[in-house]
Amino acid sequence: MSENKENINRRHFLKDGLWATCLAGLAGLGGFFLGKIKKNNTVWQIDPYICVACGNCATYCVLEDSAVKCVQVYEMCGYCDICTGYLEPEANPPDTGAEKELCPTGALKREFVEDPYFEYNVDESLCNGCGKCVKGCTIFGNGSLFLQVRHDRCLNCNECSIAAACPSGAFKRVPANEPYLLKKVDHA
Amino acid sequence: MIRIVYIIIGIAVLCISSGAASALERFPPPEFESGYEFPSTTTPHPQQDIYEYIDAIVLLAALSLSAYLVLRKRSRRAIFILMVFSLLYFGFWRKGCVCPIGATQNIVLSIFDNSYTVPAVIVIFFLLPLVFALFFGRVFCAAVCPLGAIQDLVLLRPVSVPSWLESGLRLFAYVYLAAAVLFAATGSAFLICRYDPFVAFFRLNGNLNILIIGTCLLVISVFIGRPYCRFICPYGILLRQLSRLSKWRVTITPDECIQCSLCEDSCPFGAIRKPSINWPATEYESGKKRLAVLLILLPILILFCGWAGSGLKKVMSRMHPTVRLAERIHLEDAGKVEDTTDASLAFRATGKETETLYAEALNIRANFGLGGWFFGGFIGMIIGLKLITVSVWRQRTDYEAGRASCLACGRCFKYCPMEHARLKKIKEATI
């Protein structure tokens, strides 16, 4: 009987020891991260200088209406009449009223400013993030149109589905207090 | 006319630009005469961090409440209500992100990748349920996890799974955990998030394949209680092991078990352990021999599986985008494929050296070789330990909720006549 009791005690001792070890381990893990963690959360963003506007953003986002939209940095825009981000390469002459727009959803709109300049705006409720205009603008124009994750829409998934499908590795985790990677005017 | 303009532009572009991706001011912004001012680009901010901390506080509150309801109040109905709340809040309202199951990967990644720092909230989400498991058992699974809740809600016609099948299927969860850790540690992918079967329901949108898997799992959940929790969930493995040691735990009755066997079939998750038969003295000798063989087998199993795991490095490393890209570039350069992919085009546009890419890919593959040893060794160890535990005889006199398997759902409480007596619904419980 006494042997049996001792047995149970030993088992209890081992169990308690293991329990304390686990607790210490968890506390240690917590402490380890306490020194390392950032107060700020991170969010996903596209580096526009790496992005190749492949079109995956339009289809891979878990949202039906992708969180990636085209943005315009106006200071970089050339305000061209014949905009390679707005019109198809073989578009009809602008006076025919039948010129072909690149944007499949008609989200890129233009507004006359003064002769011969036009302001180009993105209607985010229509934009699907396909990047067709971005390609046109980057290859032939100033590159003022580019794709960005819009954080009023983004769910900030732990693993961004678009990031997993991004061919150029343009998706990055950035600090939530600086959530955009906008292109800068390059006067070089 | 337009064509000519384009040709001129094209030639100009070719002359000016060195790389297509770089932004150049080919057309300097005009100086407007009409006093036009540049509009500024809008940058809508992400949700404030404060919401993340609200999540952490809700998690703490829900865990505490769950522990109270499971261990003190002992009310299935209250647990159920908390479970529905968690499903609505962590699932449909917060869209299932961030969750402790996926947080495991962030923790692993931040240990192996110094440039990645894990946000405080994720650390809290990872650690809190584990600490609670160490004190109160799997109260997180009971009523806080939205993935568990969505399966528990549809469990209408539970059928029991034989215990050999249950143990066998559970091996998958260990493999999944090991794989998730391996892929997170090498920075390849967040497997748990990518194949989260229910997050598509929470977002009411998602990848078709995942939606199909999720729907199948939900249909299975109608008959087999919580299949994800029992056979797939990698975080559940951690909770299992910690809840084995828990200070307090679910008891079918807080009073004495009268071995009426009424609770025997009450658990849809097969977590109720029956009283054991007497010491099988006749099998003692053969049992001892078997145990000795298994103990010797354990290191052999670990080494063999580790070797096999490391041998898988070529296949497994393809999960990493850099390795995939390097293999593709290699195929293209060797002339084995004609076409190009977005990724290979993007890589060539950067003008990086192919050799550096190959070196990077080989480095990652070497990491997988090393990680594969741990990956396989872990699986071998689990198989070996499982064989040992089935060969060890353990004495049990009462009906008990299995320390590791019990999800603390509280279904068995009302099956116990002692519970009815305790609640003064009947005078006395007798067999």
DSSP letter string over A32-68?
Answer: HHHHH-BSS-EEEEE-TTT----SHHHHHSSSSS-SE
Measured CA to CA, the distance from residue A63 to residue A68 in angstroms comes to 10
- Antiparallel, parallel or unpaired: β A171-175 and A117-122: unpaired
For the four alpha carbons of B30, B32, B38 and B39, in that order, the dihedral sign comes to negative
How large is the greatest C-alpha to C-alpha distance in chain B, in angstroms?
A: 104
The stretches of A37-169 forming alpha helices (DSSP H) are 56-60, 132-140, 161-165
A45: which strand partners? A172
Report yes or no on whether pTM surpasses 0.95. Answer: no
Cα angle B136-B137-B139, degrees, rounded to a multiple of 5:
85
- Are B207 and A167 an interchain contact pair (Cβ–Cβ within 8 Å)? no
- Are A36 and B116 an interchain contact pair (Cβ–Cβ within 8 Å)? no
Q: Which two tokens stand for residue A97?
A: 């009223």
- Tell me if B405 sits within 8 A of B137, measured CB to CB: no
> Which residues from chain B sit within 8 angstroms of residue A75, using beta carbons?
29, 38
Res B22: pLDDT: 47
For residues B245, B247, B251, B255, the Cα torsion angle rounded to the nearest 10 degrees is 130
Task: Give percent helix, percent strand, percent coil of chain B, each to the nearest 5.
Answer: 65, 0, 35
Res B27: pLDDT: 83
- Tell me if B188 sits within 8 A of B108, measured CB to CB: no
For residues B154, B160, B166, B169, the Cα torsion angle rounded to the nearest 10 degrees is -50
Of A77, A110, A102, A182, whose CA–CA distance to B26 is shortest? A77
CA-atom Rg of chain B in angstroms: 28
Q: Does residue A21 sit at the B interface (CB-CB below 8 Å)? A: no
Res B8: pLDDT: 52
> Which residues from chain B sit within 8 angstroms of residue A77, using beta carbons?
29
User: Could you say which of B40, B46, B193 has the minimum Cβ distance to residue A158?
Assistant: B193
Of A130, A3, A141, whose CA–CA distance to A65 is shortest? A130
* pLDDT tens sequence across A13-62: 888 999 999 999 999 998 888 877 666 678 899 999 999 999 999 999 98
* pLDDT tens sequence across B388-411: 988 887 778 888 898 899 999 999
- Coil, helix or strand at residue A70: strand
> Which residues from chain A sit within 8 angstroms of residue B347, using beta carbons?
168
- Are B9 and A140 an interchain contact pair (Cβ–Cβ within 8 Å)? yes
In sequence order, the 6+-apart residues with CB closer than 8 A to the CB of B342 are A52, A54, A56, A167, A168
> Which residues from chain A sit within 8 angstroms of residue B128, using beta carbons?
none
Res B151: pLDDT: 96
Of B269, B308, B303, B290, whose CA–CA distance to B387 is shortest? B290
- Are A64 and B103 an interchain contact pair (Cβ–Cβ within 8 Å)? no
Rounded mean pLDDT, A75-102 = 83
Domain ranges of chain A: 1-37, 42-175
Q: Which two tokens stand for residue B386?
A: 């499982």
In sequence order, the 6+-apart residues with CB closer than 8 A to the CB of B68 are none
> Which residues from chain B sit within 8 angstroms of residue A140, using beta carbons?
6, 9-10, 13, 26
Residue A142 has pLDDT above 80, yes or no: yes
- Tell me if A68 sits within 8 A of A147, measured CB to CB: yes
In sequence order, the 6+-apart residues with CB closer than 8 A to the CB of B163 are B270
Peptide bond before residue A71 is cis, with ω within 30 degrees of 0: no
Cα angle B111-B115-B117, degrees, rounded to a multiple of 5:
60
Q: Looking at CA atoms only, how far is residue A129 from chain B in angstroms?
A: 16
> Which residues from chain B sit within 8 angstroms of residue A50, using beta carbons?
21, 350
Q: Which two tokens stand for residue B390?
A: 């089935």
- Antiparallel, parallel or unpaired: β A145-149 and A68-72: antiparallel
Res B16: pLDDT: 44
- Tell me if B127 sits within 8 A of A30, measured CB to CB: yes
Q: Does residue A112 sit at the B interface (CB-CB below 8 Å)? A: no
Cα–Cα separations (whole angstroms), residue B231 to A138, B139, B154, B308: 49, 18, 17, 23
Measured CA to CA, the distance from residue B261 to residue B276 in angstroms comes to 13
- Tell me if B341 sits within 8 A of B328, measured CB to CB: yes
User: Could you say which of A62, A138, A180 has the minimum Cβ distance to residue B205?
Assistant: A62
> Which residues from chain A sit within 8 angstroms of residue B193, using beta carbons?
157-159
Q: Give residues 127 to 156 of A whose Cβ lies within 8 Å of B.
A: 138-144, 150-152, 154-156
Given a cut of 70, the residues of chain B with pLDDT beneath it are: 1-25, 49, 278-281, 431
- Are B203 and A176 an interchain contact pair (Cβ–Cβ within 8 Å)? no
Cα angle B255-B261-B262, degrees, rounded to a multiple of 5:
85
- Coil, helix or strand at residue B6: helix
| Among B25, B32, B239, the residue to mutate for chain A (most A Cβ within 10 A) | B25
Specify the DSSP class assigned to residue B263: T
* pLDDT tens sequence across A57-76: 999 998 889 999 999 999 88
Res A40: pLDDT: 67
